Amino acid sequence: MDPLPIPRDFPLPLPASPVDLQLAIVLLFLAHILFVNLMLGGTLLCLYYELRGLRRPELDRLAHAIAGTVTVTKSLAVVLGVGPLLVMNALYALWFYTANSLTGRAWIMIVPLVILAFGFLYAHKYSWQALAERKGLHLALGAAGALLLLALPLVFLANINLMLFPDRWLAVRGFLSALLLPNVLPRYLHFLLASVAVTALALAGWLCRRSLRPESELAGLDRAEVRRELLAAAFGATVLQAVAGPLVLMTLPPHGLSWPLLGYLILAVALAAAAAVLLWRELHGRGPLSPRYWAVVLALGCTVGLMGFVRHLYREQAVSTHRALVAAHSESFRAAALGAAMRLEAGVPRQGGAEATTSPGERSFRAVCMACHAAEERRVGPPLTEIARLYAGNPEGLIAWVKAPGRKRPDYPQMPPIAMQEGQYRAVAEYILDEVFAAAAAPPAAAG
Ligand code: HEC
């Protein structure tokens, strides 16, 4: 495994309180992703019904009605995307920025590709009548827009995922290799299904609303059929999440999981299951939508809200260990810089002293382990006194742990595997066991 890169953080305070920012990122993201779902789901459903409309003109009218919503939802999706992006940059600057840099070219290509996608979607919408006799060309316009919209979330997902895997940063070579992180494709599937479910549900409410004026062009649609089609699509996509959801959970790096998080997740899934049952019954109803429809919307809305919250909890937990390392690294750098400045001011000449008087084991310890381990008190990891007692006379055991740490103490996070040169492992082990804590490492009998 590649070593864990530990950059220094920016020496700047957050622009607002962390709680406000965390609330903002959850809410702004939910608003954004709702319209992204509607845009993508609308594009896909529109294409699907236009294809089937080749044989059944009433489905072509449905497709046209959907095309009318897509250009609206896409504008909102883009505008609402600015919020989470800004907060993301405040809260996770280092992680998000690193992920963006690592997929640099694909990341920046988002801008021209989005413009191109929207161009196709507008052309598709406004040429419906003009290309009525050339359906192949018209469908190609819609398909080009849809394909671009399908490709773009992969870039976002790759980046959002890469943030959570600092141990992969040195191995990732651009967007395609970031795509291969275990969690990206399951998340993509989860997102696509959510897009279809959310959109079909919203369109059913919109196109079958009671207040639809008779003179509206939508009035020409066969409402019973529209209702059946859309509710069935929403139901199918929701049920398929029973496959996609567990895939996402199983491929997430486990260090971000916790019991409270799983509790919220179970609640969210239970609500979604209840929504699916109600949806099934509503699907077989007749006439206008019943109040049951609103119960489905409410239950799924709560599911989405909870999922957004869980997503945030997961990320906070997943980056916490690395964040502690970064903070410690930044702090020691700041102290060293301050010391150097003071020495300079006092006219003390620079000396290779520190390098010369410390052992290689101590230097490696300071550079790598000290971020998480202190001599006597608990930091991210347990104190050295405890470690020295555990591994007295057993440097091999200590080295084996450092290379592949287990999961031992329930009240500590997991220690990441540490990649060093072979000689460094031994030097660090000897430093901990012999040099500093020989006394603590002595067997209790001798100590008494
Ligand atoms: C990112 C923080 C972090 C870094 C860096 C780190 N550790 Fe740890 N270490 C931990 C945590 C957390 C635990 C407790 C894990 C547990 O009990 O599940 C731990 C536990 C240990 C243990 C106890 C093992 C046992 O059997 O109980 C040893 C030994 C250890 N670390 C050695 C090292 C050495 C040596 C280094 C430097 C090469 C190092 N650690 C760097 C976080 C870290």
106, 175, 278, 389 from 181: Cα distances, Å: 16, 10, 36, 39
What separation in Å is there between the alpha carbon of 320 and the centre of ligand 1? Answer: 15
Decide whether any atom of ligand 1 lies within 6 Å of the 418 Cβ: yes
Buried b (16+ CB within 10 A) or exposed e, 108-147: eeeeebbeebbebbbebbeebeebeeeeeebbebbbbbbe
User: CA 183, 99, 313 angle in degrees (round to 5)?
Assistant: 55
Cα separation, 81 vs 2, whole angstroms: 34
Buried b (16+ CB within 10 A) or exposed e, 250-263: eebbebbeeeebee
Residue 273, token pair as written in the block: 């299951």
Rama region for 393: left / alpha / beta (φ>0; ψ in -120 to 50; rest): left
pLDDT at position 441 is 43
pLDDT at position 415 is 86
Average pLDDT for consecutive 10-residue bins of the chain (448 residues)?
A: 76 89 95 96 97 91 92 94 93 92 92 95 95 95 96 92 88 88 91 97 88 66 85 96 94 85 95 96 86 95 95 89 85 76 71 59 83 84 89 92 90 82 88 70 44
Residue 387, token pair as written in the block: 């470690």
| Cα dihedral 173/176/177/178 (nearest 10) | 100
What's the chain's Rg over C-alpha atoms? 28
pLDDT at position 217 is 63
17, 161, 190, 245, 311 from 248: Cα distances, Å: 31, 12, 8, 5, 11
Cα separation, 432 vs 441, whole angstroms: 9
Residue 260, token pair as written in the block: 């409270």
Decide whether any atom of ligand 1 lies within 6 Å of the 414 Cβ: yes
Cα separation, 81 vs 118, whole angstroms: 15
Evaluate whether 158 touches 175 at the Cβ level (below 8 Å).
Answer: yes
| Residue partners of 425: CB distance under 8 A and separation at least 6 | 399, 402, 403
Cα separation, 243 vs 222, whole angstroms: 33
| CA pseudo-torsion sign 123, 124, 126, 129 | positive
* pTM: predicted TM-score of the whole model, two decimal places: 0.73
Q: Which CATH superfamily is domain 357-447 in?
A: Cupredoxins -  blue copper proteins (2.60.40.420)
Evaluate whether 81 touches 160 at the Cβ level (below 8 Å).
Answer: no
Decide whether any atom of ligand 1 lies within 6 Å of the 44 Cβ: no
pLDDT at position 219 is 61
Decide whether any atom of ligand 1 lies within 6 Å of the 159 Cβ: no
Token pair 């500093």 is found at 436
Token pair 């591994």 is found at 391
Q: What is the atom index within ligand 1 of the atom nearest the CA of 398?
A: 29
Burial tier of 198 (Cβ tally within 10 Å: 0-12, 13-18, 19+): buried
Domain spans of the chain?
A: 18-210+218-326, 357-447
pLDDT at position 394 is 92
Cα separation, 115 vs 120, whole angstroms: 9
66, 135, 141, 152 from 116: Cα distances, Å: 20, 21, 11, 11
| Cα dihedral 248/252/254/257 (nearest 10) | -60
CB-facing half-sphere around the CA of 125: CA atoms within 13 A? 19
What separation in Å is there between the alpha carbon of 414 and the centre of ligand 1? Answer: 8
What separation in Å is there between the alpha carbon of 338 and the centre of ligand 1? Answer: 29
CATH 1.10.10 describes domain 18-210+218-326: no
pLDDT at position 439 is 46
What separation in Å is there between the alpha carbon of 415 and the centre of ligand 1? Answer: 5
Determine which residue's CA is closest to atom 22 belonging to ligand 1: 387
Decide whether any atom of ligand 1 lies within 6 Å of the 409 Cβ: yes
Closest CA relative to residue 334, chosen from 10, 6, 98: 10
Cα separation, 308 vs 295, whole angstroms: 20
Question: Which residue among 415, 421, 434, 437 has the greatest number of ligand 1 atoms within 8 angstroms of its CB, and so is best to mutate?
Answer: 415
What separation in Å is there between the alpha carbon of 314 and the centre of ligand 1? Answer: 22
Cα separation, 265 vs 269, whole angstroms: 6
